[in-house]
A and B are shown apart, each in its own frame.
Chain A
C-alpha cells in the first residue's frame, strides 16, 4: 500500500521535473539558422565535388595522366586529351565529372601526381535533371579563373625544354591513355 502511494508521488514528481526541463529550454533562445536567409559558415575542409586547381598563371595543372580516372571506384571521371603533332605534353581537352555517381571518397585527389584537383566547397547543389550534375570541370576552371581575375592563358609549349613534367607520372604503373 505504501508502495502504491510512493509510486504515484514519485511519478508525479518525475513528470513535473520533465516539464521543468522543457519549460527551461522553451524560454531560451532558438538555436536554428533561418536557412535561406542565413547560412552556416562551412568549414574550408569540406569535401565537395572535385574541381581543377587554377594556377596563378591562369591554367590548370592537369597532365592528363589518367590516374584519377583509374582510381575512381565509380567511374565518374572522363578525361579527354589530345597530343598535338610534335608536342611532348598532352593537352587536356575535356574533364567531365559525373557527380551523380560520385561517392566523395577522395581517391582521385589523393592519387593525382600534380595536385591538379581539389575539393570544392560547393554544397548548395541543385538541379532539375541528372544531366545538371555532369560537370565540365575545364569550363568550371575557366570560369573560376575569370572570377579570380586571372586571364586563362594556355602555356606556350617550348619544344626544346629539357624538363619533362610527365616524368612525375612515371611512378604510375601505366602511362595514361587518352
Chain B
C-alpha cells in the first residue's frame, strides 16, 4: 500500500511513534549492549534494577535528564546546544522511510535511499559543530577526525549501496525489498562483497569501536562530546543507537531481503502476516546490531590513518571492481 500524496497527519503521528520507538529502542539497545559486553567479559551486567536489570537504562536516562547541563564559558552556546539535536533528529527522520513491513512504512519515497543517505550525512555535521563549539582541544581533534574519516568511508558505503541499486534497478526501498523476494541480494557474490563493505563502513558511520575515532576514549578522553553533560550527552548517545538501527535497517532492506525469509517470499495479506514480516525484519536488523556490539567488545581501535588506508586502499577498490563486475554481469546475463 503506497501513499502517493503526503498525508500530513499520518506523518506527524508516525513521527511521534517513531520517536517513541527510537527512545525504547535506545533503552533496550543500551541494555543489550551492557548485557552482551558483560557476558563476553564474564560479568553479569546490570541485574539489580527491574527484571534482569531491564529498567537500568530507564533509571540512567532519568539521571541524565536530571543532571545539570554545563556549557563551557568559551563555548559557542547556540551551536553547542544545536549539535546534540542535530545528531539525534536526522536518523529519526530517515527511519520514516524504512520498510519494516509491506504496510508498516511511513512514507515510501521513490528516492528513499538517497533521502536516507543525505540525512545520515548530517551526523558528521553534528559531530563537527559539537567539537568546534566546545572550545576544547580534544573535542576539536574528535571533530576533525570525524570529518576526515567521513570522506573516506562514505565513498565505499555509497558504492556498495550503488551495487544493490544497480542490481535491483530502483532507489525505492519498498521496491528494493520486493525485488529481492526470497533470493536475498547477499546470496549473490556481488551482493556478499557489497554487504561486507557496507557493514564495515556502516560501523564507521555509527562511530562505534573499532572505528570510534572521534570519541577515542583512551586518546581524546571523550572526543567530540567531552564537554557535554546531562541530556546533551544523552542525545548523542540516543543518536548513536538510532544510527545503529538505521544502518542495520538499510543493510536488512538492501542485502538481507527485508522482511522475507531466505528463499521464501512472504506475500500474505492481513495483520498477522504483517506482524510476522515486521518481526522478521526486526530480527535481522537486531542480529546485525548484535554483531556490531560483539565486534566492539572484541577489537582494539584502529588508528586514524589506518582507517583511511583501509577505506582508500581496500574498500574503495573492492567496491569499484564489485560494482563494475555487477554491471557487466547485468549486461551480459541480464540480472
CB distance from B168 to the nearest CB of A (A): 27
Are B298 and A22 interface neighbours, CB within 8 A? yes
Are A25 and B298 interface neighbours, CB within 8 A? no
Are B42 and A30 interface neighbours, CB within 8 A? yes
Question: Which A1-49 residues have a C-beta within 8 angstroms of B?
Answer: 8, 15, 18-19, 21-23, 25-32, 34
CB distance from A140 to the nearest CB of B (A): 34
Cβ of B294: which chain A residues have Cβ within 8 Å of it? 19, 22-23, 26
Q: Which residue among A8, A25, A27, A30 has the maximum number of chain B CB atoms within 10 Å of its CB? A: A30
Are B299 and A15 interface neighbours, CB within 8 A? yes
Within the assembled complex, what's the spacing in Å between the Cα atoms of A16 and B244? 21
Cβ of B10: which chain A residues have Cβ within 8 Å of it? none
CB nearest neighbor in A for B36: A26
Cβ of A31: which chain B residues have Cβ within 8 Å of it? 42
Size of the B side of the interface (Cβ < 8 Å), in residues, is 15
Within the assembled complex, what's the spacing in Å between the Cα atoms of A115 and B151? 74
Q: Annotate B29-61 by CB proximity to A: 1 below 8 A, 0 otherwise.
A: 000000010111111100100000000000000
Are B42 and A25 interface neighbours, CB within 8 A? yes
Cβ of B44: which chain A residues have Cβ within 8 Å of it? 30, 32, 34
- Given the interface contacts A8-B314, A18-B299, A19-B295, does A26 sit within 8 Å of B43 by beta carbon? no
CB distance from A27 to the nearest CB of B (A): 8
Q: Annotate A68-84 by CB proximity to B: 1 below 8 A, 0 otherwise.
A: 00000000000000000
Within the assembled complex, what's the spacing in Å between the Cα atoms of A140 and B237? 51
CB distance from A12 to the nearest CB of B (A): 9
Q: Is B297 an interface residue (CB 8 A)?
A: yes
Of the candidates B36, B42, B298, the one whose C-beta lies within 8 Å of that of A28 is B42
Of the candidates B36, B42, B297, the one whose C-beta lies within 8 Å of that of A32 is B42
Known: A19-B298, A23-B294. 4 other contacts (CB 8 A): A15-B295, A19-B294, A28-B42, A30-B42
In the A-B complex, the 10 residue pairs with the closest CB atoms = A26-B40, A22-B298, A22-B40, A26-B39, A31-B42, A30-B44, A18-B298, A32-B43, A30-B42, A19-B298
Q: List 22 A-B contacts (CB under 8 A).
A: A8-B314, A15-B295, A15-B298, A15-B299, A18-B298, A19-B295, A22-B297, A25-B40, A25-B41, A25-B42, A26-B36, A26-B40, A26-B294, A28-B42, A30-B38, A30-B39, A30-B42, A30-B44, A32-B42, A32-B43, A32-B44, A34-B47
